[in-house]
Amino acid sequence: MDTTPDSTPVTGILRTTWVRDELAHVLEHAGTDEPSGTWTGLACPDHGLSVGSDVCVATLLAMSAGRAVADLIWEAPAYIADEHARAFDAAMEAFQQGRSAAAERHWQDLQAIWSHAWATNYAVLGLIQQAGITEFAEVKPQRWVVASFEHHCGSHGVQLPHVHNVVVTALTSGSSSEENVRADSAGGSYG
Contact residues: Zn ion, CB under 5 A: 151
At closest approach, how far in Å is the CB of 81 from Zn ion? 14
Minimum distance from residue 129 beta carbon to Zn ion (Å): 22
Please report how close the Cβ of residue 164 comes to Zn ion at its closest, in angstroms. Answer: 6
Shortest gap between Cβ of 18 and Zn ion (angstroms)?
15
- Minimum CB distance to Zn ion, residue 25 (Å): 6
Q: CA-CA distance, 113 to 103, in Å (whole number)?
A: 15
CB 175 within 8 A of CB 126: no
The secondary element (H helix, E strand) that includes residue 17 is: strand 13-18
Name the residue whose CB lies closest to Zn ion. 151
Q: How far apart are CA 144 and CA 155, in angstroms?
A: 29
Residue 130 or 159 having the CB closest to Zn ion: 159
84/151 with CB nearer Zn ion = 151
Q: Which is nearer to Zn ion, 75 or 83 (CB)?
A: 75
Count of positions (residues) in the chain: 191
Q: What is the DSSP string of 125-190?
A: HHHHHHH--TTT-SSSS-B--EEEEEE---TTS--S-EEEEEEEGGG-B-S-GGG---S----S--
Nearer residue to Zn ion within complex by CB, 17 or 53:
17
When the beta carbons of 143 and 151 are compared against Zn ion, the nearer one is 151
Which of 73, 74, 60 minimizes the C-alpha distance to 171? Answer: 60
Q: How many CB atoms lie within 10 A of CB 4?
A: 17
